[in-house]
């Protein structure tokens, strides 16, 4: 059985080891809005915006950083009791359960921080693996925005808004 990855809170100094993973996921153009040509400093600011946001890493002793998540308020002010989160897993280690491990950790952490719910604003409609994972963790689709994502291969496709109370 493969060893589980260890999760730890990332600091800004971790960006250089995180960046290749972020780039690999974004380059595919099939899950995130981030433009593939996002400058490095902008990418770092997106994924590590700092307090009250938190960025976490999943590390393997031998393979290094294999996954990451970003947890932050979905809105400012009168909406900041609802969290938003984004997840990335290194494409070469998909299927090892790292996404689920990150998801479960994020749910616990969000509750710990006092958030009342988590909202995903853009689960790309053809992303069956993500949809299945989030459903299994208790998220439901609360909305679908037509043609809101310009998928690298499929063109304009729908995105789902998913939600779960904590």
- The contact set with a copy of itself (CB under 8 A) reads 29, 32-35, 38, 74-82, 116-117, 119, 121-122, 142-151, 156, 159, 161, 163, 165
* Shortest separation between residue 102's beta carbon and a copy of itself, angstroms: 22
As to burial, measured by CB atoms within 10 angstroms (0-12 exposed, 13-18 middle, 19+ buried), residue 128 is exposed
* Shortest separation between residue 94's beta carbon and a copy of itself, angstroms: 21
* Shortest separation between residue 106's beta carbon and a copy of itself, angstroms: 18
Q: 84 vs 101, which CB is nearer to a copy of itself?
A: 84
Distance CA 156, CA 29 (A): 12
Q: 108 vs 142, which CB is nearer to a copy of itself?
A: 142
């Amino acid at each position: 059985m493969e060893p589980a990855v260890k999760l730890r809170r990332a600091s800004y100094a971790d960006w250089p080891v995180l960046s290749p993973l972020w780039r690999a996921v974004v380059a595919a153009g099939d899950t995130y809005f981030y433009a593939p040509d996002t400058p490095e400093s902008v990418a770092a600011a997106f994924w590590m915006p700092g307090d009250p946001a938190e960025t976490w890493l999943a590390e393997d002793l031998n393979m290094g950083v294999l996954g990451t998540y970003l947890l932050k308020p979905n809105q400012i002010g009168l909406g900041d009791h609802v969290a938003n989160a984004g997840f990335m897993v290194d494409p070469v280690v998909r299927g090892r359960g790292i996404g689920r491990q990150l998801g479960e950790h994020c749910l616990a952490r969000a509750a710990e921080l006092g958030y009342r719910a988590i909202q995903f604003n853009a689960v790309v409609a053809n992303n069956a693996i993500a949809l299945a994972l989030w459903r299994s963790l208790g998220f439901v689709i609360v909305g679908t925005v037509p043609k809101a994502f310009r998928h690298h291969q499929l063109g304009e496709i729908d995105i789902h808004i998913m939600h779960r109370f904590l």
